[in-house]
Amino acid sequence: MLKKLGAFFKEPPIAEPIQDQEKVDSMYKHWRLRIFYACFIGYTIFYLCKKNIAVALPGIMEEFHYSATELGLLGSSLYLTYGIGKFVNGVLADGSDVRKFFPTALLMTAIANILFALAPNFVSILGLSTKMSAMVLLWTLAFLWGVSGWFQSAGFPAVAKSLTYWYSNSERGTKWSLWSCSHQTGTFLSFILAGHIAAHFGWRAAFLVPGILAVITALWLFDRLRDRPQSLGLPDVEVYRNEPVKEKSADEKKEEDEMSYIQIFKKYVLCNKTLWLLAIAYIFVYIIRFGAEDWMIMYLKNAKNIKLEDATNMIASLPLVGICGTVCAGLISDKLFKGKRAPVNLLYLVGVICAVIALKFNTIPALNYVIIGLLGAFTYGPQMMIGGLCAVESSSKKVASAASGFTGTFGYIGAFLSATGTGFLVDKLGKNGVQNWDGAIYFWLASGVICLIICTILAVDEYKKDSKKA
C-alpha cells in the first residue's frame, strides 16, 4: 500500500529539454500564470475549510452545551496537527509531484470538513446517554478537526515548492507576496460565506458547503497544476531568466548535485543557522498574528467597551489592509532592496510595535479601524517573508518545502503560545471577575521586540555576507 502511494506521489522525471526557444518562452508564459492562479485559488479554498470553525463554535456550544474550555479542544487539535504536519509534509512535498500532492491534500481536507458536519448524526446512532454522547461527539469532532489540520498543513509546503521552482529570485518576492494574499482572501471570504450560511442554515452547513467547494476545486487543480519546469522539458527558471544563483559557486552547485536528499536536508535545514533564527523569529510573529486574529474582538469588547457588532467590523480591517501590507512587502523587497528581505522585515516589525502601542493608548473608537488595519499590514508582511520567502531562499530548492515546513512548525508553536498565553495573562491579572488586558498587550509587544532583535541579527549577517562577496 505504502509503495503504491509512494509511486503515485513520486516526483515526475525530467523530460527531454525543449530546444525551440520560442516554444520555451510560450510555455513558460502559459504555465507560470496557470500555476500561480491555481495555487492562489487552491490555498484560498483551504482557508474556507479552516476559518469556518470560528463562526460555527457559537452554534456548536448552543446545541451541545459545551464549555469554552471544551470548545478550546477543537482549536488545539488543529494547531497540534497543523504544526507537526507542516514539517512532515514539507519533507514529503520535496520529493512529490505537486500536481498530485496539493489537490489530494485539499480533497482530504474537504472530506474531513464534510464528516465534521455529519458527525452528530453518526454519534446519535450509537444510542448513548446524553452526557456520554456529548463527550464522544466532542472527541470525534476534535479528531476530525485535527485530521483536517494535518492535510491543510500540506498545502503551504506544496505551494512553496511551486513558487520556488517557477519564479526566480528577482521576482519571487512580488509573486510570493501576491500569492500570500490568499491567506487574507480566504479568511475574509470564510467569515462572510460561513457566517451567512451558519446564520441561515445552521453550523453544519458552514462545513458542508466549503467541503463540497473544496472537492470541486481539488479535481480542478489536478488539471491545472504541474510539477517543476524540468518535468515539462523547460530549463531551470534561473537559467531561463539568465539569473544564476548568486549564493552558490560552480563548485558548490556541483557538490549539491552530488549530495543525497538526506545530506542536503541536514546541511540546509537541520544545520542551517539562518533557518533556525528565522524559525524562532516566526514563533513571535505568530504570537502577534493569532493574538490579533483570535483575541482582538474580545479585547475591543472587554477592554475598550466597544459593542460586539462594531468590534467585528473593526477586525475585518485586519485581513483587508493586511493584503496591501503583504503585497507591498514583496514589491519593496524586489524593487527597492533588489531581492533583500531583511530590511523590509525590520521596517515592518517597527510598524508592528508602533501599532500595538497605539492600540493600547488609543481612546478614539473610530481610530481603531486604522490601527487594527495597520497592525494587519505590518504583521502579515513578516508572516509572508520570514516563514516563507526567507526560509526557502536561505536553503536549497531541493528542500524548499521542508524549509518552509520547518519554520511553519515553529510558527504554530507561537500560535499555541498565543492562545494559551494571552488567555492566561488576561485571567491571571484580572481581579474580582474583571479581565485585565494589559498583560496580553505587553505579551504581544514583547513578542514584536524580540522578533525585531532576531531579524536585526539576520540583517547584520546578510550585510556581512554581502560585504565579503564584494
371-392 residue pLDDT tens: 999 999 999 989 888 987 888 8
Q: Is residue 4 part of a domain?
A: no
For range 346-373, the mean pLDDT: 93
Q: Which residue has the higher pLDDT, 292 or 429?
A: 292
Residues 184 and 303 in one domain: no
pTM: 0.77
Residues 265 and 410 in one domain: yes
Residues 197 and 262 in one domain: no
Residues 91 and 217 in one domain: yes
Domain boundary among 215, 244, 273: 244
Q: Is residue 186 part of a domain?
A: yes
CATH of the domain at 231: 1.20.1250.20
- Judge whether 34 and 224 are in contact, CB under 8 Å: yes
Q: Is residue 326 part of a domain?
A: yes
3-state SS assignment for residue 431: strand
Q: Which residue has the higher pLDDT, 46 or 257?
A: 46
Residues 225 and 255 in one domain: no
Local confidence band at 462 (pLDDT 50, 70, 90 cut-offs): confident
Residue with grid cell 494559551, as numbered in its chain: 420
Distances in whole angstroms, Cα of residue 25 to Cα of each of 16, 44, 173? 16, 29, 22
3-state SS assignment for residue 312: helix
Residue 395 is given by DSSP the state: S
Q: Is residue 135 part of a domain?
A: yes
Domain boundary among 244, 261, 295: 244
pLDDT of amino acid 113: 96
Residue 352's nearest CA partner among 285, 404, 306 is 285
Residue 49 is given by DSSP the state: T
Residues 321 and 390 in one domain: yes
- Judge whether 333 and 171 are in contact, CB under 8 Å: no
The winner for highest mean pLDDT among 7-11, 12-16, 32-36, 322-326 is 32-36
- Rounded to whole angstroms, the Cα distance separating 305 from 420 reads 23
Q: Is residue 8 part of a domain?
A: no
- Rounded to whole angstroms, the Cα distance separating 414 from 289 reads 9
Written as nine digits, the cell of 105 is: 491534500
Residues 229 and 363 in one domain: no
Residues 347 and 393 in one domain: yes
Residues 223 and 296 in one domain: no
Residues 192 and 71 in one domain: yes
Q: Which domain holds residue 134?
A: 20-244
158-193 residue pLDDT tens: 998 899 899 987 888 788 888 888 988 898 888 778
361 contacts: CB under 8 Å, gap ≥ 6: none
pLDDT of amino acid 419: 76
> Average model confidence (pLDDT) for the chain?
86
Give the chain's domain count. Answer: 2
Domain boundary among 244, 261, 285: 244
Residues 260 and 184 in one domain: no
CB neighbours of residue 193 within 10 Å: 18
166 contacts: CB under 8 Å, gap ≥ 6: 31, 32, 35, 36, 228, 229, 237
**Percent of the chain that is helix, strand, coil (3-state, to 5):** 85, 0, 15
- Judge whether 412 and 86 are in contact, CB under 8 Å: yes
For range 7-11, the mean pLDDT: 85
